[in-house]
Amino acid sequence: MALHLCHLVPRDIYILVAFAFLFASCILQLIVVMSRVSGRDVGIIQPQHPGTSGYNAVHVSASFVLYLEGGKKICEMNDDGDKIFVGCARFVSSFHMVGWILLYSVVTSYLSFFFGMFCVVPFSKTTMTVFALEMSLFWVPLLLHSAAVGVFWGRLLPSAEKTVQLNLGQNTDLMFVQSYISILMSVSQGLLTLSFFLVVFRFFVALCRRKAVKQRAVARGDIDRLMRCHLVNDDWERQKEVLEDYAERLMFEIDIREECKQKSAETPSTSNDPTDRPTEEAHLNLIEENVSCEPVEC
């Protein structure tokens, strides 16, 4: 099993480290996506100077809700609401977008890990093909995860801050305090970025050294060709010739013995004296005498 995996898994240390970072990112992304089910907070929006405002903190829930510490909801998308602020609608739609993009990112990350770890090497003929395919596989989850992080920080949080200011009537400067969910998302982004740059670095190093590797391969091939041309009579060739010669002589001797046995069976001796029976050497001499090298007249 281990020997079979050696022919499936890439045997480059940089690629293996990149896959380790990718797998760690997959686990963190799965934790972030599952926080939607538990409804945990992704962070807290609070004033930069808490003493100047009438509230302390607004929690940003992973279930697309903004609520105060007492449990009062100030932004929730439901069908029973009479009215909804534009900022709240943007906040909820942005949260939906982040959730779906993260889900796609998790799926593509696991698929990239599986295909890149076990399927690229058997279907690649050259090292450059392996590195190019690995780079393309790492690029897809990085793009999706970067899009999710960009929407989260560039659209979701500004919409949430505007909603907080409109609902509570406060014009103070706000700040976002991250929870462990948003921290895990940032760490996952860093791991994906680091793994992608490791693969890109290995690809360009192999690309720059491609000419030198080809020259060494050509020189090694020339050496092997010269050795095959000049070392024809090496030990193995001599041993093979000796074995073939011995096999031919052995087959010839077996044929002669068979003919002698047939002739002795056809001409049995009438004498009771065992010395009068033709010996095997006599038969051999008889066969040799019967073989004539003189030309036959037609």
What number does CATH give the domain 7-202?
1.20.140
pLDDT surpasses 90 at 28: yes
Domain boundaries, the chain: 7-202
Rounded-to-5 percentages of helix, strand, coil across the chain:
70, 10, 25
Average pLDDT over residues 260-274: 66
User: How much is the pLDDT for 128?
Assistant: 84
The owner of tokens 């037609």 is: 298
* CA distance linking residue 210 with residue 199, whole number of Å: 16
Q: What percent of the chain has pLDDT over 70?
A: 70
Flag the least confident range among 65-74, 131-140, 156-165: 65-74
Q: What percent of the chain has pLDDT over 90?
A: 25
User: Sorting pLDDT into bands at 50, 70 and 90, what band is 282?
Assistant: low
* CA distance linking residue 127 with residue 162, whole number of Å: 52
Specify the DSSP element, H or E, that contains 219.
helix 210-230
Select the more confidently predicted residue: 82 or 186. Answer: 186
User: Sorting pLDDT into bands at 50, 70 and 90, what band is 147?
Assistant: very high
Dig out the tokens for 298 from the structure.
């037609």
Q: Which of 88-97, 160-169, 213-222 has the highest mean pLDDT?
A: 88-97
Query: pLDDT digits over 29-72, tens only?
Result: 999 998 877 778 888 888 877 655 556 688 888 888 888 877 78
pLDDT surpasses 90 at 101: yes
Query: pLDDT digits over 208-230, tens only?
Result: 877 665 666 555 665 566 555 55
* The residue type at 235: D
Long-range contacts (CB closer than 8 Å, 24 or more residues apart) made by 60-69: 60/160, 60/176, 62/35, 62/36, 62/38, 62/181, 63/36, 63/39, 64/91, 64/92, 64/95, 64/96, 66/91, 66/160, 66/163, 66/164
Gyration radius (Cα) of the chain, Å: 42
